[in-house]
Amino acid sequence: MAATVLDLLETLETHLEQTKAALNALREENEMLKRRLANQVPQAQPPSQPLQDPTQSDASVAEPSVADVKPSDSQVISEVAVAETAPQRPSPQALLRQWYKRYPQAFFTGHTKPLKVGIHQDLAQREPWSGRLIRRALANYVNLPRYVKSMREGAVRIDLDGNSAGKVDKEAARHASERRKDKLDSNTPKQAQSLENRKSQQSSKQSSKQASKQVLQKAPKNATPAAVKEHEQRGTNEAKEKVEAAKLLSLEDKLKGLQQKFAGR
């Protein structure tokens, strides 16, 4: 029994010695790795930077330079700056109102003069807007009745500064005359229709008045109030029927007039 215990103690002492030796080996290996890392760190560092001028302000050190800004950040900043500085796109009517003030020698609110041929190109060189917006604003001006009226053969054309820039030729004057004629023809049916409507309304009112008078004249003198009321109601219905018949006749007259007009053309 005693021999067994002694053998066990010797075995434990042997394991203890082996464990201590392994622990010492690990410590030596750890120290060696530390020395290697210490030798490699100075070689990996970048070259030393020049010392900063002590007179430099702390604010300049704290603020990032343009090179330090990320591409996405710089793009966002540029877009915001452009959005703040870019003028808002006006409507064609608003742009034309600006031209009245910006080019008073070319665009007039009263007596109008023909513009230079190709003046939209001159406007494109001076205005920051697209060619489409410029053409739309210019169309609002050249389609005005006073401008179309100014397009007569031999009339002097002007540029944006009011200087002479050619004359209106025969073809342009003829085209303007046709435009004036087309506008007059388009306005004539509307005026005639409104006049006919006023006449029909007046005739309807007159016929209703006459019908009312006739009803009152036909009422019996010695009739009871109920009979008089019934008579007036019947007369009112007759007056309405006459008015409706007059309206139908006026509509038929209008249709016949339109048919004759188109047949004549």
Helix (H, G, I), strand (E, B) or coil at 129: coil
Across 36-161, the runs of DSSP E, i.e. the strands, are: 156-158
Which range of residues forms the domain containing residue 139? Answer: 92-168
What is the CATH classification number for the domain harbouring 158?
1.10.1710.10
- The reply to whether 128 and 164 lie within a common domain is yes
pTM higher than 0.95 for the full model?
A: no
Distance CA 62, CA 58 (A): 6
Number of folded domains that form the chain: 2
Distance CA 22, CA 46 (A): 39
What are the backbone angles phi and psi of residue 156, rounded to the nearest 5°? -80, 130
* Number of CB atoms found within 10 A of residue 213's CB: 12
Cβ distance 160 to 126 under 8 Å?
A: yes
Along the 265 residues of the chain, how does pLDDT read in single tens digits?
566 777 778 788 888 888 888 888 888 888 888 888 888 765 545 555 554 554 444 444 344 454 454 455 556 555 545 445 556 899 999 999 999 999 999 999 988 999 999 999 999 999 999 999 999 999 999 999 999 999 999 999 999 999 999 999 999 999 998 988 887 776 666 665 666 667 667 765 665 566 555 544 555 555 566 665 676 677 677 767 766 766 666 666 777 777 776 666 5
**Six token digits for residue 144:** 């005005």
The answer to the question of residue 106 being in a domain is yes
- The reply to whether 205 and 138 lie within a common domain is no
**Six token digits for residue 246:** 């007059």
Q: Tokens 């330090």 map to which residue? A: 68
| Maximum distance among all Cα pairs of the chain, rounded to whole angstroms | 162
Cβ distance 160 to 141 under 8 Å?
A: no
The answer to the question of residue 48 being in a domain is no
The answer to the question of residue 100 being in a domain is yes
Kindly calculate the radius of gyration of the chain based on its CA atoms and give it in whole angstroms. 51
